[in-house]
Amino acid sequence: MKSLLAGLCAACLLLVAPLLLVAPLLLVAPAAAQDLPAGAKVEKNIAYGPDRDQRFDVYLPAHPRHAPILFMVHGGGWKRGDKDMSRVVDNKIARWLPKGIIFVTVNYRMMPELEPVFQADDVAAALVKVQEMAPGWGGDADNVILMGHSAGAHLVTLINSAPEIATGKGAHLWKGTISLDSGAMNVPEIMNAKHFKLYDEAFGTDSAKWEAASPYHRVKGVTQPLLGICRQRSPDACPQNKALAKKVNSLGGKMQVEPERMSHGEINSELGLPGAYTDRVENFMRSLGWNV
């Protein structure tokens, strides 16, 4: 019997190990409703389209009234991840729901079903739905900050660079955008240099598609204020953020870049914890008129 159990356990490990390597994000526990701040509540899986991945959750503070809205897009290499992941949700709702801020976290269709340039269309459609529903939550549809991490940071930055992606669907302009460690600000530059296979999967071989998915190439004029958070240790993220900021600012917009001595994951999971990092993000929010 012991040998049989040992064999079964070994087989289980063989099955699970590849999942740990290929999709670690799927193993992160979702935020628990019992962990919500006092008086807060959550509405789950609100549809903004017919696909099962076209859903968002909204976390509501106690007694919201004309509340600002933080609109969060998860990362995962454009092909995995989820709006429920604890690193996406927990510290952010703990910090900002008690301050009267509504927190929305968004799912979108991913590769191979949808390439990134069209994933931005899903994010834009979700924004339209959030702004439509905001008054019913006690929210302010005109007082939204977009935020995304990793692939999600690329998507919200792309929308910020080309606001017609969202306004063409009926979205109101938002107050500003916070990009949490995207290294995909200049897609042609990435594709014309040595790069990870992931980028081939995301952006393919068509140079016209590279430019369509590139925040650096899509920005043509004044855009909404943008904060770019980047890892100091990354050879790509900070240089690309700084190059985008130079172009945005030269066109009359406003982008600031904040390098952080943190890992890629920590830039997402530790936002909301007390400290200098969260303070810098809140300084940007205050510059947009938020009382945080």
- The whole-angstrom separation of Cα 146 and Cα 41 is 21
Domain ranges of the chain: 2-287
Identify which of 205, 184, 229, 208 has the alpha carbon closest to the alpha carbon of residue 78: 184
CA triplet 216, 156, 20: central angle to 5 degrees?
105
Q: Can you give the pLDDT at residue 233? A: 85
pLDDT of residue 112: 96
Name the band, by pLDDT with cuts 50, 70 and 90, for residue 106: very high
The whole-number average pLDDT for the span 166-188 is: 97
| Mean pLDDT score, 159-179 | 98
The pLDDT tens digits for 204-248 are 999 999 999 999 999 999 999 999 999 998 888 999 999 999 999
35: pLDDT confidence band, cut at 50, 70 and 90? confident
Of 131, 127, 101, 91, nearest to 40 by C-alpha is 101
Q: What is the mean pLDDT of the chain?
A: 90
Fold of 2-287: Rossmann fold (3.40.50)
Contact 28, 87 (CB under 8 A): yes
Please state whether the predicted TM-score (pTM) of the whole model is above 0.85.
yes
